[in-house]
A and B are shown apart, each in its own frame.
Chain A
Amino acid sequence: MSPKKDATYIGVLALQGNFRMHEYAVERLGATPIEVKLPSDLDIVQGLIIPGGESTTMSILLATSELIEPMSKLIEDGLPVFGTCAGMILLASNLSDGRSDQISLGAIDISVQRNAFGRQPNSFECDLSVAKIGLHPFRGVFIRAPLVYSVGRDVEVLSRLSDERGASPVLCKQDNILVGSFHPELTGDDRIHKLFLSMVYSQ
Chain B
Amino acid sequence: MKQNSFDDNFRVKRGLAEMLKGGVIMDVVTVEHAKIAEDAGAVSVMALERVPADIRRSGGVARMADPALIESIKNAVTIPVMAKVRIGHFAEAQILEALQVDFIDESEVLTPADEEYHIDKTPFKTPFVCGATNLGEALRRISEGAALIRSKGEAGTGDIVEAVRHLRSITSDIKALSSAGPQELFGFAKRLQAPLELVQEVAATGWLPVPLFCAGGIATPADAALVMQLGAEAVFVGSGIFKSENPAKTAKAITEAVAHLEQPDILVKVSSGLGTPMEGKTVQSLDVHMASRGW
Residues of A at the B interface (CB closer than 8 Å) are 14-21, 37-38, 52-54, 56-57, 60-61, 64-65, 85-86, 97-99, 114-115, 118-121, 123-125, 141-144, 183, 186
Q: Do B100 and A60 touch (CB < 8 A)? A: no
- B97: chain A residues at CB < 8 Å are 121
Add 12 more A-B contacts to A53-B20, A125-B8 (CB < 8 A).
A14-B22, A16-B23, A52-B19, A56-B79, A57-B79, A85-B19, A115-B78, A119-B80, A120-B102, A124-B12, A141-B12, A143-B12
Q: Mark B216-257, 1 if CB is under 8 A from A, else 0.
A: 000000000000000000000000000000000000100110
Which 6 A-B residue pairs are closest in the complex by CB-CB distance?
Answer: A120-B102, A60-B41, A16-B22, A54-B43, A143-B15, A18-B18
Q: Do B79 and A141 touch (CB < 8 A)? A: no
A18 to B234, CA, bound (A): 11
Q: Do B11 and A125 touch (CB < 8 A)? A: yes
- Closest approach, in angstroms, between the C-beta of A135 and any C-beta of chain B? 22
Cross-interface CB contact of B16 among A99, A114, A123, A124, cutoff 8 Å: A123
Q: Do B256 and A61 touch (CB < 8 A)? A: yes
Q: How many A-B residue pairs have CB under 8 A?
A: 110
Q: Do B15 and A183 touch (CB < 8 A)? A: yes
- B78: chain A residues at CB < 8 Å are 56, 97-99, 114-115
B11, B22, B260: most-surrounded residue (chain A CB, <10 A): B22
A56 to B260, CA, bound (A): 17
Closest partner residue, chain B, to A51 (CB atom): B19
Residues of B at the A interface (CB closer than 8 Å) are 8, 11-13, 15-16, 18-23, 38, 40-44, 74, 78-80, 97, 100-103, 125-127, 252, 255-256, 258-260, 263
- Closest approach, in angstroms, between the C-beta of A146 and any C-beta of chain B? 11
Closest partner residue, chain A, to B5 (CB atom): A188
Q: A54-B44, A57-B23 are in contact. Are A144 and B16 (CB under 8 A)?
A: yes
